[in-house]
Structure 1
């Protein structure tokens, strides 16, 4: 994908090229969300509650699939995204 703004601003193109991988960017986004509430995923207690909440969401997605509310492809995609999110505390 070529970003039109990058043609006008080579610095922006360089910054885009230096971006982290998507899992790390997701982890940093989640960390920022927690930090805005005075929490950190690096804190073991917070990381544990994060994992518990994520497990609940995974069960919800599994249930939606079991009830044919989401198809198999969508279920796999959601599972993959949630599995990436599970790694967040180890990536920040």
Structure 2
């Protein structure tokens, strides 16, 4: 993971996600949960800076990132994480409703 630059949150976010993109683009390595959760955690202060209107979104996002961080202690890759969630039947299917004109 890239070294964090104090006082440069957007640069830190950019670097973290560039590293994840390089992993995805390589197609030879699986995306690890720990670096993914660390990159996601960098977004929390950004969401928090949007003000009170986004407070519930920030809290929900932070809870989900914390779940990822906790999962990274026992599951190494995103693929393995998804597979374990499918087996446990804890993945919700989201249906998209399309408007017709």
On whether the aligned pair clears a TM of 0.5, the verdict is no
Higher relative CO (CA 8 A, sep ≥ 6), structure 1 or 2?
1
Bigger proportion of residues as helix: 1
- Output the TM-score relative to the length of structure 1: 0.38
Larger radius of gyration: 1
TM-score (norm 2): 0.35
